């Protein structure tokens, strides 16, 4: 593959693999300081926050580079001790969408390289890029600094385009090409699930030896079972209500419309349910199409269920946990989902999940044990699955808690540290430090002219 260096990764940490002291984390298009559940802020942001905190707790400093999206933002923010967020000026603060950002990557990369140049060589031991835009920045920084690039795609354009919902715009070819380049250049690719690893290998020609499966986690202290009646009071739903919950960025890919259609089907089959059915949709728009809350509200009106649907703005974790606890069922009907943290968080709170059998959701949900997986997006199937979960709720709630407890951000972080250490060890064994390489190139040039 062009540009690939002769590394021999094993995916294993060897006894000699050095631990990183400082990680440069790249999150170009969305900041760990943003509230998830709206716009471009979602699971990626939660991932970066949870992992960075835990790296810092292990004594590994993290510097997160993200684009400044407001003139009010200070250039540097200490998120927690050991985790610094650097706001990089790249393009105008406001008015740029994700699709405008490829044109700003040069400016972003220049700022990252200049920051490193202020320090002694070897300031960063490893780069971890999130999403392909960051991978493009990381690829150049890696070559300049002589440190490995670990990349998490989070979503893949080819996979997304194969599962488009009505109203969803296909991801542009430029992104597909950009992703292919990052896959070819990264020293490690981190996949959330075995399925994502297979997609990277089959669809992007990733090297299997560089592709590691590291499942994301869930904060089991924050998302824990609790007093359901108190949660219902906090959220403002009646004790005897049947509560169906959607949480996430409101966009066609997440298919909140499927939940509304399923709720309409439940009411059509059992009109008496109207007195106690409550559908909660937590989140805010992201992208186009059904992203317009008005369109979703209009759908609720046209289905004749507007009186049982409530739209709730994005919630901070403590309030979000109350919504999970208050719900009978969390519904995740996405057309595609690289993992689905929402499904895991709901289960951790003891709420079973009805989810589409796509992407990472079959990993996030244990079908028949912690919830029910549904093939396709027929609302009748979702209505049937919701009924099934309600009938077996206690059993599935216990299964949900057990299943969620298998995931933890501590384990995610530990696996990432192993991946960093192995990649650093290999790179130090194979590649000489950049300044030494430059001197060697100059010597070769002076002696024998340019290499042919």
Rule CB under 6 A: which residues touch ligand UDP?
Answer: 36-37, 42-44, 46, 247-249, 282-283, 314-315, 317, 320, 339-342, 345
CA atoms of 183 and 206, how far apart (whole Å): 6
- Annotated ligand binding at 315? The verdict is yes
Nearer to ligand UDP by Cβ, of 109 and 370: the residue is: 370
Min separation Cβ 155 and ligand UDP, Å? 7
Number of residue whose CB is nearest ligand UDP: 42
Nearer to ligand UDP by Cβ, of 84 and 286: the residue is: 286
Min separation Cβ 315 and ligand UDP, Å? 4
- Annotated ligand binding at 158? The verdict is no
- Annotated ligand binding at 160? The verdict is no
- Annotated ligand binding at 325? The verdict is yes
Min separation Cβ 398 and ligand UDP, Å? 22
CA atoms of 394 and 282, how far apart (whole Å): 24
- Annotated ligand binding at 254? The verdict is yes
- Annotated ligand binding at 420? The verdict is no
Nearer to ligand UDP by Cβ, of 161 and 392: the residue is: 161
- Annotated ligand binding at 278? The verdict is no
- Annotated ligand binding at 348? The verdict is no
Backbone angles phi, psi at 22, to 5 degrees: -145, 130
Min separation Cβ 130 and ligand UDP, Å? 11
- Annotated ligand binding at 12? The verdict is no
Nearer to ligand UDP by Cβ, of 247 and 374: the residue is: 247
Nearer to ligand UDP by Cβ, of 43 and 350: the residue is: 43
Nearer to ligand UDP by Cβ, of 126 and 197: the residue is: 197
Nearer to ligand UDP by Cβ, of 91 and 340: the residue is: 340
- Annotated ligand binding at 47? The verdict is no
Min separation Cβ 85 and ligand UDP, Å? 17
Min separation Cβ 362 and ligand UDP, Å? 14
Min separation Cβ 191 and ligand UDP, Å? 14
Min separation Cβ 88 and ligand UDP, Å? 22
Nearer to ligand UDP by Cβ, of 22 and 335: the residue is: 335
Positions at the binding site: 29, 35-36, 40-45, 98, 131, 155, 175, 249, 254, 315, 324-325, 327, 337, 345, 351
Binding site membership for UDP-N-acetyl-alpha-D-glucosamine: which residues? 35-36, 43, 249, 254, 315, 337, 345
Residues making up the annotated binding site for Mg(2+) are 324-325, 327, 351
């Amino acid at each position: 593959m062009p540009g690939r260096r002769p590394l021999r990764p094993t995916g294993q940490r060897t006894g000699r693999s050095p631990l990183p002291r400082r990680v440069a984390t790249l999150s170009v298009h969305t900041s760990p300081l943003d509230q998830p559940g709206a716009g471009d802020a979602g699971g990626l942001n939660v991932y970066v926050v949870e992992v960075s905190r835990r790296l810092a707790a292990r004594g590994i400093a993290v510097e997160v580079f993200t684009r400044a999206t407001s003139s009010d933002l200070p250039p540097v923010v200490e998120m927690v001790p050991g985790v610094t967020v650097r706001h990089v000026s790249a393009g105008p603060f406001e008015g740029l969408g994700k699709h405008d950002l490829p044109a700003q990557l040069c400016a972003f990369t220049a700022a990252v390289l200049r920051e490193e140049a202020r320090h002694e060589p070897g300031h960063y031991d490893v780069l971890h890029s999130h999403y392909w835009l960051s991978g493009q920045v990381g690829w150049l920084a890696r070559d300049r600094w002589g440190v490995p690039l670990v990349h998490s795609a989070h979503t893949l354009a080819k996979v997304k385009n194969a599962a488009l919902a009505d109203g969803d715009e296909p991801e542009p070819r430029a992104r597909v090409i950009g992703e292919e380049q990052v896959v070819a250049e990264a020293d490690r690719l981190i996949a959330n699930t075995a399925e994502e690893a297979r997609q990277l290998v089959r669809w992007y020609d990733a090297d299997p030896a560089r592709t590691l499966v590291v499942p994301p986690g869930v904060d089991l202290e924050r998302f824990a079972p609790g007093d359901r009646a108190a949660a219902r009071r906090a959220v403002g739903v009646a004790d005897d209500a049947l509560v169906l919950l959607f949480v996430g960025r409101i966009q066609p890919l997440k298919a909140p419309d499927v939940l509304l259609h399923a709720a309409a089907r439940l009411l059509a089959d059992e009109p008496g349910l109207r007195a106690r059915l409550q559908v909660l949709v937590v989140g805010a728009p992201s992208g186009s199409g059904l992203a317009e809350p008005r369109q979703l509200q209009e759908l609720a009106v046209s289905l004749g269920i507007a009186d049982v649907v409530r739209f709730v703005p994005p919630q901070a974790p403590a309030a979000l946990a109350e919504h999970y606890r208050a719900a009978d069922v969390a519904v995740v009907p996405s057309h595609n989902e690289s993992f689905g943290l929402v499904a895991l968080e709901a289960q951790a709170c003891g709420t079973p999940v009805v989810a589409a059998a796509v992407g990472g959701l079959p990993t996030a949900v244990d079908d028949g044990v912690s919830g029910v997986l549904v093939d396709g997006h027929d609302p009748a199937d979702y209505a049937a699955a919701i009924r099934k979960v309600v009938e077996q709720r206690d059993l599935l709630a216990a299964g949900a808690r057990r299943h969620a407890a298998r995931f933890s951000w501590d384990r995610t972080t530990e696996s990432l540290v192993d991946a960093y250490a192995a990649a650093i060890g290999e790179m130090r064994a194979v590649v000489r430090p950049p300044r030494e390489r430059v001197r060697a190139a100059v010597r070769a040039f002076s002696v024998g002219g340019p290499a042919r």
